[in-house]
Amino acid sequence: MRSIWSITANHFKAEKPKEKKAEVIVIGAGMAGVLTAYFLKQAGISVMILEANGVGSGQTKNTTAKITAQHGAIYHKLIENFGWEKARQYADANRIALDQYKRLIKDLSIECDFEIMPSYLYSLKEEEILEKEAICSRNLGLDTSYTTKTTLPFTVKSAVKMERQAQFHPLRFLYALADNLPVYEHTKVIKIKDKKIWTDQGEFYGDKIIFTSHYPFLNFPGLYFTKIHQERSYLSAWKTDYPLDGMYYGIDKDGLSFRRFQNMLLIGGASHRTGENTSGGNYDRLKQAGKIYFPTSSLQMLWSAQDCITLDEIPYIGKYSRLYSNWYVATGFKKWGMSFSMIAARLLSDQIMGVPNPYASIFSPQRFSLKAEKEKIKEGCYSIKNLWKEFMTVPKNVFESLAPGQGGVVRYQGKKVGAFKDKNGKVYLVSTKCPHLGCQLAWNPEELTWDCPCHGSRFDYKGNLLNNPSKKSISWRGEKELINGGKDR
Ligand SMILES: Cc1cc2nc3c(=O)[nH]c(=O)nc-3n(C[C@H](O)[C@H](O)[C@H](O)COP(=O)(O)OP(=O)(O)OC[C@H]3O[C@@H](n4cnc5c(N)ncnc54)[C@H](O)[C@@H]3O)c2cc1C
Ligand code: FES
């Protein structure tokens, strides 16, 4: 399902460079990669982007595209977990990122529906948390206030308003910026050793290499698979004339996100860990919310996206690992990758040019905290459980029991397979083993995909790779046609 941004942006094709060598090679042309390459080029550094698909074809095309320092009720937690100094750095970095967007859009006259407006957190149940959040964020220098007045179509118990935040059209912005950048589209990086990069389009060389591939797909060095998981959320666009004034984010368990785009209202929510959507119903939740809260509106589009979450919920931006001093990474944006992409672009270009950056330590991928180490153990146990499932469990259901439109892990000729039966009775068989590190894939009935609970790789029902860290598709075990719902022929 295509997002509102994909449908409303003009088609973009990057100009292919002739060189296969550059001082800096950036992997991935999403918001983080394009912004980073832009600043490096501005600084006179030779740079090139390698992109597996097209510019903006990853999560950036499916975002909500709010540019804000208001990332949920985080500031009181950041102060509790990391202290005032680090919390202030987080707030400052995001505040400055928004100013940098403003300046760039103005200086380059980019037409990208950029609008300044307040951002709100709201709760239907809690009061205390948002009261605390308002005080903490204000004390960190952010222009926030506690309120109960919003333009939402329902009464809220509490809200925090942050003044002068922004929203935009992410692809119109991205395409304008990528227009003058050297990008090899449809060039998938497969292997890297020091300065040499192997792709499906040949070999490339970069003195420095930046991974802005969303999930850093190389397992060693860096061991990012031990410290990142992915979460999916769902979005809907509704045609409406409802006068919503601001961008909203619900902090309650089933809280919804709202923003406008022209004559549309975007409603998002229903978040879960990738690979944990075995019963579906997320799009239905958004459809229901739209009908209840905006009864005169009409549903236009539905889509979804996922983002990387780090152990301490602060992105990893900086050196990829201690082993290769010429590799860099930007990941783990926790669904706030518009401002974090700008932070990453400034920080990484400073590091490459040897300029000190005040935010290097808070975002350093090599930072250590006891809390994060505890989370790492939890992540490890979760992965072992899903690895064990693949090796040791035998599915209860057999292949023949699938109803049309249904998929799942089943037994077929004594073996475990992933199967999806389409409306015409054709069954698509795939391996249930994730090619990344071997965890058992879970069927996602809502999106007809095979999703990995361990680190979030995804595949379509035919086994084609949709999202990394896996670099490969899942093995294809063929198509079968069932007669009378019985034996295959
Ligand atoms: C539902 C949802 C709503 C969100 N809303 C907001 C919001 O309102 N505001 C906000 O700030 N953030 C938001 N985010 C987060 C934001 O969308 C992401 O953090 C951001 O888009 C990530 O950008 P990126 O450049 O890191 O990744 P991507 O856009 O995914 O780019 C990575 C690129 O790398 C390429 N790639 C991957 N592997 C390879 C390879 N091997 N070789 C070559 N290329 C490769 C991919 O094709 C892709 O184009 C939201 C996220 C979700 C899930
Ligand atoms: S994504 Fe890592 S094992 Fe599947």
Look up residue 142 and give its DSSP letter.
-
Q: Are 237 and 4 in contact (CB under 8 A)?
A: yes
Ligand 1 midpoint to CA 344 (Å): 13
Best probe residue, ligand 2, of 470, 473, 475 (max atoms within 8 Å of C-beta)? 470
Higher pLDDT, 274 or 398: 274
Look up residue 433 and give its DSSP letter.
B
Ligand 2 midpoint to CA 225 (Å): 8
Residue (of 113, 94, 365) closest to 224 by Cα position? 365
**How would you classify the pairing of strands 202-211 and 21-27?**
parallel
What is the average pLDDT across 410-431?
92
Question: Tell me: the pLDDT tens digits for 28-80?
Answer: 999 999 999 999 999 999 999 999 999 999 999 999 999 999 999 999 999 99
Q: Which helix (H) or strand (E) holds 67?
A: strand 66-67
Ligand 1 midpoint to CA 404 (Å): 33
Is the distance from the beta carbon of residue 26 to the nearest atom of ligand 1 less than 6 Å? no
Q: Is 42 exposed, middle or buried (0-12, 13-18, 19+ CB in 10 A)?
A: exposed
Angle, CA 301 vertex, CA 101 and CA 429 arms, to 5°: 110
> Which ligand 2 atom is at minimum distance from the Cα of 456?
1
What is the average pLDDT across 260-280?
95
Ligand 1 midpoint to CA 216 (Å): 12
From CA 361, how far away is CA 368, in angstroms rounded?
Answer: 11
What is the pLDDT, as a whole number, of residue 288?
Answer: 97
> Which ligand 2 atom is at minimum distance from the Cα of 434?
4
Higher pLDDT, 395 or 141: 141
Q: Which ligand is nearest to the CA of 229?
A: 2
What is the pLDDT, as a whole number, of residue 413?
Answer: 87
Looking at the predicted structure, is the pLDDT value of residue 484 above 50?
A: no
What is the pLDDT, as a whole number, of residue 482?
Answer: 55
Q: Which two tokens stand for residue 285?
A: 């939740």
Is the distance from the beta carbon of residue 57 to the nearest atom of ligand 1 less than 6 Å? yes
Q: Which ligand is nearest to the CA of 183?
A: 1
Looking at the predicted structure, is the pLDDT value of residue 149 above 50?
A: yes
Q: Phi first, then psi: give them for residue 453, nearest 5 degrees.
A: -70, -20
Least confident of 94-98, 297-301, 306-310, 423-427: 423-427
Q: Which two tokens stand for residue 345?
A: 């672009």
Q: Which ligand is nearest to the CA of 259?
A: 1
Show the domains of the chain with their CATH numbers. 1-65+169-227+311-367 (3.50.50.60), 371-489 (2.102.10.10)
Question: Tell me: the pLDDT tens digits for 226-241?
Answer: 999 999 999 999 999 9
Instruction: Return the residue whose CA atom lies nearest to atom 38 of ligand 1.
Output: 213
> Which residues are CB-contacts of 420 (< 8 A; sequence separation ≥ 6)?
402, 406, 407, 427, 428, 443, 448, 461
Ligand 1 midpoint to CA 337 (Å): 7
- The rounded Cα 137 to chain-centroid distance in angstroms is 25
Ligand 2 midpoint to CA 30 (Å): 22
DSSP conformation letters of 173-237: HHHHHHTTS-EE-S--EEEEETTEEEETTEEEEEEEEEE-SSS----TTT-GGGTEEEEEEEEEE
Q: Which residues of 84-99 are buried (b: 16+ CB within 10 A; e: fewer)?
A: eebbbbbbbbbbbbbe
